[in-house]
């Protein structure tokens, strides 16, 4: 039986900002989608809208397919130099102004983020919440409720995960991270104890 969360359980910094300060960056981000968010996300118009960081609509096969060229040398999308830059951390913070957790980003992509012992969400909803743990070479992006797509050029694979029901947390959650973990284990990677998967 799924766990039922009470309102007092949901007191993460992100959710506190949403509920207490309508001018906070999390509130402006979350509520800045107007009619699209209020009633049209699953309409033809909602699917056609261009809402940055909010309406990437696909399935897991499409998500993995989008990252496949980046996992295999760049294909016709980018050259080797650009691909190398895409995998390097370009920004890291202890308290992301929007997500309100520690984050690490490459150029437009998320890198492995280990918040298992740091975030309030991880303590409330399970250790894999508010984290996404990949190898140090991997880069991609999580979606609301735990979806994920990424490329791992060093291991030569791409990954896509979408779901029918959103899970807890801002980034990954236990169910999605378990699939990432299984993929890395199947390729001979040994541990994620240090915050990234290593062989």
Q: For the domain that residue 73 is a member of, what is the CATH number? A: 3.40.710.10
Structural domain contains residue 1: no
Structural domain contains residue 178: yes
Same domain, 47 and 111: no
CB 131 within 8 A of CB 114: yes
Last residue of a domain, one of 42, 57, 72: 57
CB 108 within 8 A of CB 89: no
Beta bridge partners of 93: 103
Q: CA 98 → CA 14, 102, 169, distances in Å? A: 8, 10, 14
Flag whether pLDDT at 80 surpasses 80. Answer: yes
- Interatomic CA distance for residues 125 and 172, integer angstroms: 11
Taking Cα atoms as reference points, which of 3, 13, 189 lies closest to residue 102?
13
Burial of 134 (0-12, 13-18, 19+ CB in 10 A): buried
| pLDDT at residue number 42 | 72
Same domain, 143 and 159: yes
Structural domain contains residue 65: yes
pLDDT tens for 31-53 read: 765 555 556 667 777 777 776 66
Same domain, 93 and 175: yes
HEC-encoded secondary structure of 141-156: EECHHHCEEEEECCCC
Range of the domain at 25: 7-57
| pLDDT at residue number 140 | 96
Sign of the CA dihedral 172, 87, 117, 199? Answer: positive
Same domain, 141 and 84: yes
Same domain, 117 and 191: yes
**H helix intervals, 101-158:** 120-125
Predicted structure pTM score: 0.81
Q: Interior CA angle at 102 toward 98 and 107, to 5°?
A: 75
Tell me phi and psi for residue 145, to 5 degrees: 80, 0
Structural domain contains residue 171: yes
Same domain, 20 and 104: no
Last residue of a domain, one of 57, 81, 97: 57
Q: Quick one: tokens of 73? A: 């040398």
Number of structural domains in the chain: 2
pLDDT tens for 139-173 read: 999 987 788 999 999 999 999 999 888 777 677 88
């Amino acid at each position: 039986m799924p766990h039922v969360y009470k309102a007092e359980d949901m007191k993460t910094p992100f959710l506190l900002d949403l509920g207490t300060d309508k001018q906070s960056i999390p509130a402006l981000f979350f509520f800045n989608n107007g009619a699209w968010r209020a009633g049209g996300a699953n309409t033809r118009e909602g699917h056609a809208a261009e809402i940055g960081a909010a309406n990437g609509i696909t399935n897991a096969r499409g998500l993995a397919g989008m990252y496949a060229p980046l996992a295999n040398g760049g294909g016709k999308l980018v050259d080797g130099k650009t691909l190398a830059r895409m995998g390097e951390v370009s920004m890291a913070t202890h308290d992301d102004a929007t997500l309100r957790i520690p984050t690490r980003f490459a150029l437009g992509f998320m890198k492995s983020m280990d918040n298992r012992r740091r975030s309030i969400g991880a303590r409330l909803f399970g250790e894999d919440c508010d984290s996404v743990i990949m190898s140090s070479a991997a880069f991609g992006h999580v979606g609301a409720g735990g979806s994920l797509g990424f490329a791992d050029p060093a291991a030569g694979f791409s990954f896509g995960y979408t779901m029918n029901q959103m899970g807890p947390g801002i980034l990954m959650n236990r169910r999605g991270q378990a699939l990432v973990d299984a993929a890395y284990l199947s390729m001979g990677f040994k541990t994620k104890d240090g915050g990234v998967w290593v062989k």
